[in-house]
Amino acid sequence: MKPRTLRIGYRYRARRLAPEYDAIVIGSGMGGLTTAALLSEFGFRVCVLEQHYTAGGYTHSYERGGYEWDVGVHYIGDVGTRTRTRKMFDFLSEGRLKWAPMDAEYDRFYVGDKVFNAVAGKQAFRDNLVRQFPGEEQAIDRYLELLSEMGAAMSAYAMDKVLKPWQRTLAAPFMSWRKPKNLFRNTYTVLSELTDNQDLIATICGQWGDMGLPPKQSAFMVHAMIARHYLYGGFYPVGGSWRIAESIIPRIQKAGGEVFTYAGVQKILVEEGKVTGVEMADGHRIECACVISSAGVENTFERLLPKEAVTATGYERQLGTVHPSMAHLGVYVGLKHTAEELDLPKTNFWIYPHNDYDAAVDEFLADADAPFPVVYISFPSAKDPDYEKRHPGTATVEIVAPAPYAWFEQWTDTTWGKRGDDYEAFKAELGERLMQYLYDKLPQLKGKVDYYEVSTPQSTNWFSGYRHGELYGLDHTAQRLRQDWLGPRTRIPGLWLTGQDVLTCGVTGAMMAGMLTTMAIVGVRRMAPLLKRIYSN
């Protein structure tokens, strides 16, 4: 099939650059675009440099054979009413971005041969859990209380990242986020203090794939963040996830900035300990004293910065405290019938072999033929009220499952589309395995699939610039979340960080990181009136 691609952004050529920029952003994911758009509001002319052929990072979509798929967005929470999250999206997109609600049952968990689910709305979520687990009312209510406690703690945790080190030391005694003892505790430990019902714990943790760590490995803070995020249901960006970047870019352009694609940055230039600009893959140098990297911490410190600068500032040692998150497989399915005809739900499916998620991961890592520890199935064309207009008479499905990067390491230095027969055969085998999960849950799709293709961790590296096919940047362990150096500020003057490694993964996590990075650059005093304007609307 002939590929056709959704491309947004302006193709990079050195001669297309403006003579001067106030800031350079490396990477056009949600973190980079948010930072660029907010800085534009302060009059900054921002140059966003994206190595891929289209802007958006993990929010980009692609088309092939008359179908369209998203690569890193299946649902966003907290945008159904005028929440702060929604207001920030509205501001960045100048109201262009619209949201479509999923079904009230937004997540369904197949746990062995049992089925549980999550429904939208705090009270409905609670009542639904109580219905599924009669006798566990007290544990469920206490769990919801813990989620509320975490809310305030997470805001303080985020704001702490904007402070300069001396300010952080001064503020430490007042920081309430240091108080909740559960913040960095292991999710399973916290939950097992509430109940010993393993099915209830499994249902509460049924979204663990949203941050990439099963409950015995993840920090409760991240579990709570995800659970709170989706408490009022899931929403899909009308028109597809690529609309996120497309609707934000005009704000950057209005201030004289631009988002360039095919614009791989090769080096961050450092002279006398300070950032002076970037060197592009074509060797062209762009001078700028303010460089913001949203390319991920590993890329920034291990690939882009000169080694001497990393060693001299102590980052080399600190990099050992963080690790990439799990890698994944994607299956992109096209069907020659509409979502309605096929009865596809606006509900995500999470399929687990049994209720011990950590054990399932271990079993899979020990034996590649063991069941996938989680298989996630999403129905984007069903969720998008606009899909039919763009691709009449068709429907799409996306499947995501974990896969160790080691399985694909041997193809590290190969080129996309030219990785050889062994690679294709391996992909085909994995694709067939994952398609069985789909047919098992929706047998009506048998014989209706027109096309499907499989992405691997090497595809993630190729298109998104990562190095270990990581789904969510750095792994969300308690150890990672405790790292003070993971924040917008760096010890290299002129270099700032943003994106999912600064705060947490997720489109909203990256967006909030963009907000924090802007605040760190312009200062809290200048940022406060802008936030007031955004949030009071």
Ligand X SMILES: Cc1cc2nc3c(=O)[nH]c(=O)nc-3n(C[C@H](O)[C@H](O)[C@H](O)COP(=O)(O)OP(=O)(O)OC[C@H]3O[C@@H](n4cnc5c(N)ncnc54)[C@H](O)[C@@H]3O)c2cc1C
Binding interface with ligand X (CB under 6 A): 26-32, 49-52, 57-59, 72-76, 264-265, 294-295, 299, 328, 400, 464-465, 471-472, 499-500, 505-508, 510
The radius of gyration of the chain's CA atoms, rounded to the nearest angstrom, is 22
The residue with tokens 């499952």 is 401
The least distance separating ligand X from the CB of residue 479, rounded to whole angstroms, comes to 19
The least distance separating ligand X from the CB of residue 47, rounded to whole angstroms, comes to 11
Considering the complex, state which of residue 180 and residue 488 has its C-beta at the smaller distance from ligand X: 488
Note whether 278 and 285 are within 8 A (CB). Answer: yes
Considering the complex, state which of residue 200 and residue 505 has its C-beta at the smaller distance from ligand X: 505
The residue with tokens 């490995």 is 217
The least distance separating ligand X from the CB of residue 482, rounded to whole angstroms, comes to 20
Considering the complex, state which of residue 54 and residue 186 has its C-beta at the smaller distance from ligand X: 54
Considering the complex, state which of residue 199 and residue 302 has its C-beta at the smaller distance from ligand X: 302
Region of 223 (left: φ > 0; alpha: ψ -120 to 50; beta: rest) is: alpha
Region of 273 (left: φ > 0; alpha: ψ -120 to 50; beta: rest) is: left
The least distance separating ligand X from the CB of residue 333, rounded to whole angstroms, comes to 14
Considering the complex, state which of residue 73 and residue 430 has its C-beta at the smaller distance from ligand X: 73
Total Cβ atoms within 10 A of residue 439: 13
Diameter of the chain by CA atoms? Answer: 69
Q: Going by DSSP bridges, is the β-strand pair 265-271/375-378 parallel, antiparallel, or unpaired?
A: unpaired
Listed in order, strand segments (DSSP E) in 189-337 are 235-237, 258-261, 265-271, 274-280, 285-287, 291-293, 328-335
Considering the complex, state which of residue 264 and residue 306 has its C-beta at the smaller distance from ligand X: 264
Distance CA 260, CA 12 (A): 5
* Assigned token pair, 60: 């980009």
The least distance separating ligand X from the CB of residue 506, rounded to whole angstroms, comes to 4
The least distance separating ligand X from the CB of residue 525, rounded to whole angstroms, comes to 26
Note whether 408 and 456 are within 8 A (CB). Answer: yes
The least distance separating ligand X from the CB of residue 444, rounded to whole angstroms, comes to 25
Considering the complex, state which of residue 93 and residue 294 has its C-beta at the smaller distance from ligand X: 294
Q: For the chain, how many helices (H) and strands (E)? A: 21, 21
Distance CA 210, CA 213 (A): 8
Considering the complex, state which of residue 356 and residue 501 has its C-beta at the smaller distance from ligand X: 501
Q: What is the DSSP secondary structure assignment for residue 174, as one 8-state letter? A: G
Element (H, E) at 165: helix 165-171
Distance CA 525, CA 522 (A): 8
The least distance separating ligand X from the CB of residue 447, rounded to whole angstroms, comes to 27
